[in-house]
Structure 1
Amino acid sequence: MQKHRYIPFGYKICNGETVPHEQEAEAVRMIFQKYLRESLSCQALADLLTAQGVPYREKSFVWNKSMVKRILDTPKYMGADGYPQLVSEAEFQQAHAIKAVKYTRRAVPPSPLAAAMKNRLSCHECGSGYGRRLDNRYGGKWHCKNQDCKTEIRITDAWLQDGLTAMMNRVIADPAELEMEKTPSNVHTLEVTKLNNEINRELDKKDLNEDYVKALIMGCAAEKYANCAEGDTQYLTEILAREFDRQDPLTEFDIELFTRTVEKASIAKDGTIHVRFINQKTMSRLNNEGKE
C-alpha cells in the first residue's frame, strides 16, 4: 500500500483508493482562498497554518513558504491525474497567474536610481535607510523604512534627482566648497610619545647629535601622519576638486558622478538634503518643492 507521505498533501489512501484527507483538504482550500481573496503571501500563509496547528506531515506542525508554494503549484488539486478535485480549475489557474505576475515583478531589476541610492540614502532623523516604491503616476516614491519614524515625508524620483543635481551643480560652480576646515593635528600614540621623549632627551645633551635628532623628528612626523586621516582627506579633496572642475553644469541627474563622489546622503523632515562626499565634507540644501 502506498504510504500517506508519498502522495500529495490533502489526500490519503483508503481501501486502496486515493481520497481527500478531510483536515488537509480543508487546509488546501483555505490556502487557495486566502491567496486569491486576501492576497496573502506564501510566507504569511505558512505563518497562519503554523499558528493554527495544522500538521503538514504527521508530527510536523511548522510550515514554510516552500510548502505553501508547492501546494499552489500542484495541478492534482484541480482533479488532474485522476486525483479527487479539491479546488476548481478556475481557482488553480487564477492562483497560478497571480504567482507568475509576482515572480515577474521580483525578476525586474531595480532602476538605476534605486541601485545608486542603495546603502547611500537614509533618513536624517532616525538614520534608517530610505526605500523606493513604484507609483504609476510618479514612477517611484521614496520613504523612510522605519515605520516608527515621524518624518512623514515621501518624495518622488524627480524631487530627489532635482535636489541632488542642484547640489552637484553647486560644487561644479565652486569646487572650493569641498575644502575641509583645517584643524590643528594633535595625534598621541605610544610611539609618538616615545619619540618626543627621545627628542627632548637628545636636545638636553651638551654633545648634540644633530643628524640623530633630525632622524627622530622625521620619524615622529611620519608616525603622526600615519595616525591622522588629514592626509587622506586632503588627497581625496584634491581628486574631487579635479573631478568637479572638469564638469559642465548638469541638466539632469548624473548617476555615475554621484556614485563616484558621494559616500552618503540623507533627507530631513523639512526637505533638507544632506550630502557627505568621499572626503567627508558635508553639504546641505533645502529642497522643499515637490515633497508631500
Structure 2
Amino acid sequence: MRGIKFPFGYKFENGEVHIVEEEAEIVRRIFEDRINGVTSPKIGAALYVEEIPYFSDSLVKAEGKVMTILRNERYFGADGLPPVITEETYQQARSKMRKKRDDKAAEEHRLIKKMSFCEICGTHMGHNYSGSGVPRWCCATKGCVNRVPVITEDMYKNAISTVLNSVVKNPKVLNVKATLTEYEPNESIKAHENKITEMLERKPVDAEKVTAEIFALATEQYDCCTFDMIPYITAELKVTAKRSEPSDTVNTELLQQIADRIVVGADKKISVIFKNGRKITYKESDTDEP
C-alpha cells in the first residue's frame, strides 16, 4: 500500500488504511451541504474562508477539491476503503449534481429555440428527432425549404458557439456603418433664422426677444436631428464581449446579452444577428473567423 495516495479523510498507518475523523467530518459536511442544495463553489468558498488547511490554497482550488470529493466513490467503501459516508448519501449528492446539469441543458435548449427563426418564412425553427433518435433542427412550416432537416443538434450548437467565440476573440467584428447624428433643417428653421437676423439688425436690439427666439430656434433644430443609437449599442456589445471568455459550449448568458436572434437561410447556413443589426454567418471551412 506504500506509495498509494489516499483521498482526503484517510491515512495509511501500521499497514492499514484508517479514517482521519476530523477530515471525515468535513467530507460528510460537503456531501450533506450538496444534498441540501448548496453548490460546489459555495461549499469550497466556505471551507476556504474558514481556512481549513486542505482547502486554503485558493478559492479555485478549493472548489476543485470539493468537486473531486463529491465524485469519489471510495468515500462509501469502493476499492476496499473504510466508508466515510453511505452509498445512499453519495448517490443523493450525485443526483443533485446531475439535476443541475439537466436543468442547465434544458435552459440552454429553451433559449436557443426561442431565439431561432427560419430566414425564409420567419417561423420559429423546430426541434425533432430522426428515426434513429438523432436530435435535429428544421423549420416548423410545412412546404418551407428549411422544413427538410439536415442540421443536427451538434452542428447547430457548434455554429452558434463558434460565432460567439469569434466575437469574444475579436469584438471589432461587431462594428457596423452608422452615423451618430443627422441634421436636416426645414423651411421653418430657415425662416426662423432669417427672422433672428432681422431682429439683430434693428437698433436698438431687443435682447430679451432675441434670446427667446434663439431658444425657440434651438428647439426646432433639435426636432430636425435624427439620432442613431446603433454606435452606442455597438460599443456596449463590444464591452460585454471583451468581458467574456471563449467557450466549448454555447455561452447562453452572452447569447442573451448581445444577440437578437439566430436565423437559418435557404442554404442551411446558420447566422447570429446581434442587437446592433450585425449579422455573422457560421462558416464550416473557417471556424475561427465566421
CA contact (8 A) 2:178 2:231 kept: no
Identity %: 16
Is 1:252 the equivalent of 2:246?
Answer: no
Q: SS of 1:111's equivalent?
A: helix
Cα 1:288/1:140, change in 2 over 3 Å: farther
Once the 2 structures are TM-superposed, how far is the Cα of residue 196 of structure 1 from its aligned partner? Answer: 4.9
Residues 41-91 of structure 1: CA distance to partner in whole angstroms, max 9, x if unpaired?
xxxxxxxxxxxxxxxxxxxxxxxxxxxxxxxxxxxxxxxxxxxxxxxxxxx
- Cα distance in 2 for residues equivalent to 1:174 and 1:131: 31
- Structure 2 equivalent of residue 122 of structure 1: 117
- Cα distance in 2 for residues equivalent to 1:109 and 1:253: 11
Cα 1:110/1:163, change in 2 over 3 Å: closer
Aligned length: 177
Q: Please point out which of 151, 161, 173 is paired with 1:177.
A: 173
CA contact (8 A) 2:180 2:227 kept: no
Is 1:201 the equivalent of 2:195?
Answer: yes
Once the 2 structures are TM-superposed, how far is the Cα of residue 195 of structure 1 from its aligned partner? Answer: 4.1
Once the 2 structures are TM-superposed, how far is the Cα of residue 163 of structure 1 from its aligned partner? Answer: 0.4
Name the stretch that deviates more: 252-261 or 203-212.
203-212
Once the 2 structures are TM-superposed, how far is the Cα of residue 132 of structure 1 from its aligned partner? Answer: 0.8
Q: SS of 1:236's equivalent?
A: helix
Opposite residue 193 of structure 2, the aligned amino acid is: I
Paired residues for 1:42-53 under 5 Å: none
TM value normalised by structure 2:
0.51
CA contact (8 A) 1:121 1:129 kept: yes
Residues 215-252 of structure 1: CA distance to partner in whole angstroms, max 9, x if unpaired?
35643454345xx4513x22221211110012122222
Cα 1:248/1:204, change in 2 over 3 Å: farther
- Structure 1 equivalent of residue 160 of structure 2: 164
- Cα distance in 2 for residues equivalent to 1:241 and 1:196: 40
Q: SS of 1:131's equivalent?
A: strand
CA contact (8 A) 1:138 1:157 kept: no
- Structure 2 equivalent of residue 230 of structure 1: 228
Q: SS of 2:282's equivalent?
A: strand
Cα 1:167/1:122, change in 2 over 3 Å: same
Q: SS of 2:141's equivalent?
A: coil
- Structure 1 equivalent of residue 237 of structure 2: 240
Q: SS of 1:286's equivalent?
A: coil
CA contact (8 A) 1:142 1:157 kept: yes
- Cα distance in 2 for residues equivalent to 1:259 and 1:249: 16
Once the 2 structures are TM-superposed, how far is the Cα of residue 144 of structure 1 from its aligned partner? Answer: 0.4
Q: Please point out which of 277, 281, 285 is paired with 1:284.
A: 281
Is 1:267 the equivalent of 2:264?
Answer: yes
- Structure 2 equivalent of residue 215 of structure 1: 215
- Cα distance in 1 for residues equivalent to 2:191 and 2:249: 57
Paired residues for 1:70-149 under 5 Å: 111-134=106-129, 140-149=135-144
Unaligned runs of 5+ residues in structure 2 are 1-102
Opposite residue 279 of structure 2, the aligned amino acid is: T
